[in-house]
Amino acid sequence: MKYMLVKTYSDAAYCSAPLPEWGPEDIAAHIDFQRALGEQLAAAGELVDAQGLAGPEQALIVCSDGSSAPVVTDGPFPETKEFLAGYWVVDVDSPERAIEIAAQASAAPGPGGKPLGEYIEVRQIMSAPAE
């Protein structure tokens, strides 16, 4: 079963300071944690893909009616409380394993090395109906 684990730009349970306000050593520790988690999941054969995304200030929203030029709105989007920060796509044997990985990702280190308690959304990737 494939699952997408979604991480947003929002306050975490135990930290409300945005990443750009962290000290360089805290940012490095957080990124090292993310890399190690990706390597661990890849070694277990569970990682399909994982990506961190540029901040919402670099985002574009596109809307089209299919016939005229698309309407493109650029960020930042202050009306948005949450914005996609990154994701993991994992292929695991059970929903419980997807939750276990999400819990591990949620505890990524923040300022001072303390676990962030990030809110990680777990969503099963649906397949197309059988033909």
Q: Is 123 helix (H, G, I), strand (E, B) or coil?
A: strand
pTM of the model: 0.84
Phi/psi of residue 49, each to 5°? -165, 155
Residue with tokens 């490095």: 28
pLDDT at position 5, please?
96
pLDDT at position 8, please?
85
Cα atoms in the 13 Å half-sphere on the side-chain side of 125: 15
pLDDT tens sequence for the chain (131 residues): 999 999 987 788 888 888 888 999 999 999 999 999 999 999 999 999 999 888 777 888 889 999 999 999 886 665 656 678 899 999 999 999 999 999 999 999 999 999 999 999 999 999 877 67
Backbone Cα Rg of the chain: 17
Q: Is 6 helix (H, G, I), strand (E, B) or coil?
A: strand
